[in-house]
Amino acid sequence: MPATPQRVLPVNVVQALRPGFFHETAIDKRPVEGPVAVHELGVDGDRQIDSSHGGPDQAVYAYADEDAAWWAAELGRDVPPGLFGENLRLRGVDVSGARIGERWRIGDVLLEVRMPRTPCQNLSLRVGIEGFHMRFNRAGRVGALLRVVEPGTLTAGDEVELVSRPEHDVTVSLLATGADAVHMRGLLESGVPLARKVKGKAERVVARAERQAGIQQ
């Protein structure tokens, strides 16, 4: 069978702010028509209420249509674009299987995979299932937070071109569910410039393993 074309389905931006677990949330995203500008801090028309969920390393959130279909089967309900708060619903792209530092070209926008999405209670409120955000993370189908390397414009239907893929083995899913010290050391030694959160996590995992090895000697 021919490979599934790698494409953007809808581009989603904030429809309205909703009550969240601690404060208002911008998780309610819906598809928009036509070309959409993408800049250093995200998609035009989008909003980030919590500063811990924002910044250049978390500018755009991408989710795989195939992972959404998996959740639809698990939950026995539709998972329409934007339900999980994603800006880009992608088809044919293994988003959670992407490597940290991988780069994609969509339209004239260049994006870099920086880290997994860390779900919070607002996702559970959005879906209407208590504790769903923890289940979401355990499944490893969390989607990827992206940095905008080159701003530009993209639109639904654009192809997703893989521009580069690092040599290490740490994927979005592995980082979300718990990469071991061997993988984390490989990530640190790969030469890929890492987001501060990712670098800190990798260093802690490696340091913990080294301390344990020292105790056992």
DSSP annotation of 34 reads S
- Residues lower than pLDDT 50 in the chain: 1
Mean pLDDT of the chain: 91
Q: Which helix (H) or strand (E) holds 173?
A: helix 172-177
Question: Do 106 and 158 meet the contact criterion of CB atoms below 8 Å apart?
Answer: yes
Question: Do 162 and 131 meet the contact criterion of CB atoms below 8 Å apart?
Answer: no
> In this predicted structure, what is the pLDDT of residue 46?
76
Q: Let me know if residue 58 belongs to a domain.
A: yes
Q: Let me know if residue 171 belongs to a domain.
A: yes
Q: Let me know if residue 110 belongs to a domain.
A: yes
Q: Let me know if residue 199 belongs to a domain.
A: no
Q: Let me know if residue 33 belongs to a domain.
A: yes
Q: Let me know if residue 52 belongs to a domain.
A: yes
Domain residues for the domain of 70 are 7-176
What is the reported pTM?
0.91
Give per-residue pLDDT as tens, 24-45.
666 778 899 999 999 999 999 7
Number of domains the chain contains: 1
* 144: CATH: 2.40.33.20
Bridge pairing between strands 36-39 and 42-43: antiparallel
> Sheet holding 60-64: strands in order across?
29-32, 7-14, 88-91, 60-64, 144-150, 109-116, 103-106, 160-164
* Cα–Cα nearest to 58, from 66, 48, 68: 48
